[in-house]
Amino acid sequence: MSRTHYIAGNWKMNLDKAGSVKLARDLVAALKGKSNKYMVGVPFVYLDAVAQVLKGSNILLGSQDMAATANGAHTGEVSAEMLKDIGVQVVILGHSERRHEIGESDELINKKVRRALEQGLEVVLCIGELLEDREAGNAEQVCAFQLSADLAGVSEEQMKKVTIAYEPVWAIGTGKTATPADAEAIHKFVRGYIAKLYNQKVADETIIQYGGSMKASNAAELLAQPDIDGGLIGGASLKAETFEPICVL
């Protein structure tokens, strides 16, 4: 089945306001009229400024995280309502840096996923194994657990707004990349597991991105795999000249 490539940039904790606005402007110009699906995940403090630049373009505005609760006494948190108010359309949840640096549990990630979907936001749900999991032969087991736990209570209808990003944790920001064959094997497994959780139609329609040191030099080979439908790009998304070549594949 043919699925549209979905290329997303995750800016992480980088750039300043001027740099964020310039990058957004450069991307709007570079990607105008291009047919893939695009998103940029912007730091909270620059979302509003970038929203003004992306308005009316073919690039979705994404947040890198979101609170699991509605507005209220939650110091330091940012709610779905606040994000929607400034034009956010997508939220990245379960990123390995949230899981392993911040200590987010699958229970919390599931609450965030359900909250985002209830509020009409699209979700990019990140899953993936640590190096020790892969070396122990448990990569599939880890991904299956995360999918089951993080998608608990998510309906078949809601899955239309969910993208899965497979990111082998050992390949994020390290320069190491899973070989296209290794990445495809896990993507194929993930699609099969979604079919078990839901059905084959949902599995066939779900976009599964690869995240883990994807860049212009390896993107074409990765995206040529039958079950790799896009990329969640970190470092290479911080400059238009390194991000745009991936976007137009």
Out of 5, 95, 104, 129, the active site residue is 95
Residue labelled with tokens 């800016």: 11
The answer, as to whether pTM is greater than 0.95, is yes
- Is-catalytic flag, 95? yes
* 7, 37 contact by CB (below 8 A): yes
- Residuewise pLDDT in 10s, the chain (249 residues): 679 999 999 999 999 999 999 999 999 999 999 999 999 999 999 999 999 999 999 999 999 999 999 999 999 999 999 999 999 999 999 999 999 999 999 999 999 999 999 999 999 999 999 989 998 999 999 999 999 999 999 999 999 999 999 999 988 777 777 899 999 999 999 999 999 999 999 999 999 999 988 999 999 999 999 999 999 999 999 999 999 999 999
pLDDT score, position 1: 64
Phi and psi at 242, nearest 5°, equal -100, -20
Q: How many CA atoms lie within 13 A of 128 on its CB side?
A: 30
- Residue 132: CB atoms within 10 A of its CB come to 10
Out of 129, 167, 184, 244, the active site residue is 167
pLDDT score, position 140: 98
The closest of 185, 242, 248 to 214, measured between CA atoms, is 242
Q: Which residues pair with 163 in a beta bridge?
A: 124
Question: Where do the H-state alpha helices sit in the chain?
Answer: 17-31, 47-54, 80-85, 96-97, 106-118, 131-135, 139-150, 180-197, 200-205, 216-223, 240-247
